[in-house]
Structure 1
Amino acid sequence: MKILFSIAGLEFGGSEVFMLRITKMLAQQHEIILLNTRPDVVNEKLLQTALDRKVRLINTPSDILSKLIPFFKKLNSRYAIAYKIDKLFLKVILKYFKIDILCSFKYESDVFICSALETYNIPIVISTRGCYSLMHQYLSGNPESYEYFNTQTRKAFLRANGLVWLTQKNIDILKTLHATVPDLNIQIYNGYQSAGILEKQVSRDSLGIAEDAVVFGMVARGIEEKGWKVAIEGFVENQKENSKELHLILVGDGEFIAELKKQYASDKFIHFVGKAENVVQYITLFDVAVLPTWFAGESIPNSVVEYLYCNKPVIATNWVEIPAMLSTATDIAGFVVSITREGLPNQKEFTECMKMYIQDKTLIEKHSKLAMQAFEKFSMELCAEKYLRFFQNVKDEYSSY
């Protein structure tokens, strides 16, 4: 099958990382084209480490033209030239590579693809995550912008022939926006596959951590809503009450993280290690992994999948699909912390969950085994198989019209 994936920007985020993983897996047996509709938004390190050499990456041309031609921006504002050029370019790509089906990720890409191909003969699948919920929340205070977002969303889903979704929240927000949910829709969890054989570049010793210490850790985007402050405050509180050597490893960067690093610079047991190209090398050092998130754009946090892959117990919030992610057939691989009436993680519960692991290492061992079982639902092979089967169903249904 010849499949074109489209996304608006390739920065470091959950949608982008998963798209690079699924295209890598599918490219083993299928021809995969990856179209970036926002070539001005690219994380080069992400591409260097995650883009498979069999996947052909193509950028829409209008951004380059705006840099090369002095009057392009002025003309574009009057005649919408950029959209027309990118629309024509998209159709050329589809014909040249004889694409069978197109799959779009993220709102901006969804709107462009479905508008540009409104009458074009090709099946379109939208793979939705948390972006619609995020925009719904952030634009709700701006009636004009919200109305535009709402209108464009409804138009896009009128054209879409199929929908892949992660959580019920993804469906609920579309209904809130009065968008048409395609009859052909399916829930598929993000799959995960390691980058390869791990060559440990870090060790506990390199960070000054004793082998018998209890190590908590967190990997996430460097924004407040991921719960960094909650994790640190829970850790500091347990430091006061326990004589055991405790450490907290924090993997991520950004302005918010930088401020926290200054604030806790004197605590040698809190390790701010920055962003890592291979986060697994740090997760393997954890005894317990945490993610006290309340991020509006959350669906299936990649970091939780990576924690489970490394067989780590998890303390996380009762947020979107996280409880189901941690669940096995009969148990759960960690603890789920409630969200307060204010919409924030329950700090007291989180701190207490940390304390239980500190006091009982057998609990860590028990939940580690459960984490191994919980990860099975995130097999990349299973994920790719479900995507391909769904693509074929959409393609067959579209052909029968």
Structure 2
Amino acid sequence: MNILITVETLVTGGAETFALRFAQALSKDHKVFLYRFYDNLIDQDIVNKLAPDVKKLTFKHSLDEFLRKFDSLLNKINIEHSLRNLLIKKHLKKIIKKHNIQVVHSNQFKVDYVTTEVANSLNIPIVTTIHGDYLRFWEEPPKSIISFKTKIAECVAITDAIVCISDYQLAFFQEKIQPLVSKKINLVKIYNGYPFYPALLQNGRGLKQKINIPPENFVFGMVSRGIPGKGWDVAIEAFIKLAEPNTNLILVGHSDYLNSLKAMNGHHKNIHFVGYSSEPINWINNFDVGLLPSNSDNLPTVIIEYLFCGKPVIASDVGEIKNMIALPNGNAAGNIVPLNGNKVSSELLKNEMQRYINDKTLFREHAKNALLAAQKFNMDNCVSSYVDLYNKKKNQLETLNL
């Protein structure tokens, strides 16, 4: 099957890394093309690492900077027209025809709105994976999108299947979007896959010794984007309250915000700000427990990484996290901390951290459960589910055209 996957950029982000990993796995048995809307927004190292065998395509125009400024000007005077998107549509049509694309798979709303129209005009099945932008834009529409709720309804109405990655997303589309669309929305839930190999569990050995953590110490760790909403300050406050002498906290990420936290807390000899890592698994292998006390999330990749590395999870009760760490028998691979208002209480987080220090039987049980919970994110299962969906939609369209 010839498949076109469209994204806005190829920089570090949940939607982008999913598209890269998924495209690479899909390319084993299919011809896959990965198309980005912004030629200059690419992290070449991540792209080469995650999708080395996938053909990359992009919209490239000598007047692209002018096009962006012109569209921005139109937007400021409330004119719903984008010359740049018009040119992207023409380019996408050429790409689809040239490579005999049979299915289009779009990611992120700004891309979906353009891609669905093109695929629909060419009578090609279009599948969309929902990421965090839909819900975020619903709550606070960006100034760059005029009449967002009208546009989302138009987009959804011509999309053949919408793949949600959490129950929260499913409820959002059923309760908020379905009333805006006359036809029944075809909603499907498929977890993002992760290409994990047992050999990765050996990576990073000795890193904690390099930052002077004794091998017998109990290590809490956190990996995420360096933004306040991920709960970095809560993790630090909880660890300081814990006040256990033989414990350490490793924080993996980089931003000005994290630099400010380091300036305030860097004197604490058991808190380690190690900066950005292109190989977060290497650090996670040195954790005993993974933390993510974020204010909002859907299906955080780092939770999947914690699980695949056999690390119990302490995380906030947002998005799909509770289901992510759950086993079919009702057991779990970690503990969930409720939000207190719009934030996790550092006191409650500290209490859950203390439980693992005090109860090593619980810790070992949750570590074993983590490896079991990780299996729901097997990339082969993810690819198989999407291929079945592609074929179903392709066959339905072919039947309608008879």
How does the TM-score come out when normalised to structure 2? 0.90
Query: What residue in structure 2 maps to residue 328 of structure 1?
Result: 327
SS for the counterpart of 1:204 is helix
Query: Structure 1 residues 100, 176: closer, same or farther in 2, change over 3 A?
Result: same
Counterpart of 1:400? Answer: 399
Match of 1:231 in 2: 235
Q: Which amino acid aligns with 2:218?
A: V
The question of whether the paired residues in 2 share the 8 Å contact of 1:202 and 1:281 is answered with no
- Residues 35-93 of structure 1 show CA distances to partners (whole Å, capped at 9, x for unaligned) of 1012243223321321222x11111124x4325xx799559967843222211110010
The one-letter code of the counterpart of 1:345 is: V
For 2:73 and 2:298, the matched residues in 1 are separated by: 35
- Please give the residue correspondences for 1:351-362 in structure 2 after superposition, counting only pairs within 5 Å: 351-362=350-361
Compared with structure 1, are the counterparts of its residues 387 and 118 closer, same or farther at alpha carbon in structure 2 (3 Å cutoff)? closer
Deviation at 1:195, TM superposition (A): 7.2
In structure 2, the CA distance between the partners of 1:74 and 1:187, relative to structure 1 (3 Å rule), is closer
In 1, the alpha carbon distance for the partners of 2:84 and 2:131 equals: 27
Letter in 2 for 1:129: H
Where does residue 293 of structure 2 map in the other structure?
Answer: 292
In structure 2, the partner of 1:51 is: 51
**Offset of residue 162 of structure 1:** 1.0
SS in 1 for 2:147: helix
Say if 2:323 is the partner of 1:319.
Answer: no
Q: CA deviation at 1:361?
A: 2.5
| Distance across 1 between alignment mates of 2:70 and 2:284 | 49
What are structure 1's unaligned runs of at least 5 residues?
none
Match of 1:65 in 2: 63
Contact 2:67 2:84 in 1 (8 A): no
Distance in structure 2 (CA, Å) of the matches to 1:329 and 1:80 = 48
Displacement after TM superposition at 1:289 (Å): 0.6
Give the whole-Å Cα distance in 1 for the aligned partners of 2:237 and 2:82: 50
Change beyond 3 A, Cα 1:172–1:314: same
Contact conserved, 2:219 with 2:289, CA < 8 A, in 1? yes
Separation in 2 of the partners of 1:290 and 1:95? Answer: 47
Match of 2:17 in 1: 17
SS of 2:9's equivalent in the other structure is coil
Output the CA distance in 1 between the equivalents of 2:184 and 2:44.
Answer: 35
Aligned residues: 388
3-state SS, counterpart of residue 388 of structure 1: helix
CA contact (8 A) 1:161 1:182 kept: no
Kindly indicate whether the alpha-carbon contact (under 8 Å) linking 1:157 and 1:182 is maintained by their aligned counterparts in 2. Answer: no
Corresponding residue of 1:136: 138
Percentage of identical aligned residues:
28
The 8 Å contact of residues 291 and 314 in structure 2, kept in 1 or not, is answered as: yes
Aligned residue for 2:192, secondary structure, equals: coil
Match of 2:26 in 1: 26
Q: Which amino acid aligns with 1:66?
A: D
Q: Secondary structure of the equivalent of 1:193?
A: coil
- Structure 2 matches for 1:344-383, cutoff 5 A? 344-383=343-382
User: 172, 193, 216: which one pairs with 2:220?
Assistant: 216
Per the alignment, do residues 86 and 146 of structure 1 end up closer, same or farther by CA in structure 2, a change over 3 Å counting? closer
Structure 1 CA distance for aligned equivalents of residues 130 and 207 of structure 2: 37
**Counterpart residue number, 2:121:** 119
User: 2:11 & 2:365 partners in 1: Cα distance?
Assistant: 37
The equivalent of 2:251 in structure 1 is 250
Q: Which runs of 5+ in 2 are unaligned?
A: 75-80
Q: After superposition, what is the alpha-carbon deviation per residue over 1:275-329, rounded to whole angstroms, capped at 9, x for unaligned?
A: 111111000000111101112xx21100000000000000011111111100112
Distance apart, 1:346 and its partner CA: 2.8
Instruction: For 2:286 and 2:103, locate their aligned partners in 1 and report how far apart those are by CA, in whole Å.
Output: 42
CA gap of 1:195–1:77, structure 2 versus 1, over 3 A, is farther
- Displacement of 1:183 in angstroms is 4.5
SS in 1 for 2:343: coil
Cα distance, 1:164–1:250 mapped onto 2, change above 3 Å: same
CA distance in 2 between partners of 1:254 and 1:283 (Å): 19
Is 1:96 paired with 2:122? no
Distance verdict in 2 for CA 1:195–1:60, change over 3 Å? farther
CA shift, 1:11, in A, is 1.9
User: In structure 1, how many angstroms separate the alpha carbons of the residues matched to 2:346 and 2:253?
Assistant: 21
Preserved contact between residue 163 and residue 182 of structure 1 (Cα < 8 Å): no
Partners of 1:71 and 1:108 in 2: how far apart? Answer: 16
What is the CA deviation profile of residues 334-358 of structure 1, one whole-angstrom value per residue up to 9, with x for unaligned ones? 1100112x22113221110011112
Q: Which amino acid aligns with 2:159?
A: A
The change in CA–CA distance for 1:358 and 1:227 in structure 2 (over 3 A counts) is: same
Report the AA paired with residue 240 of structure 2.
Answer: V
Shift, 1:106, TM fit: 0.5
Structure 2 SS opposite 1:48: helix
Letter in 2 for 1:188: I
Quick one: structure 1 residues 203 and 51, their matched pair in 2 at CA, closer, same or farther if it must change by over 3 Å?
Answer: same
Distance 2:197 2:40 in 1: 26
Matched to 2:55, the amino acid is: R
* Cα distance change, pair 151–202 in 1 and its aligned pair in 2 (3 A): farther
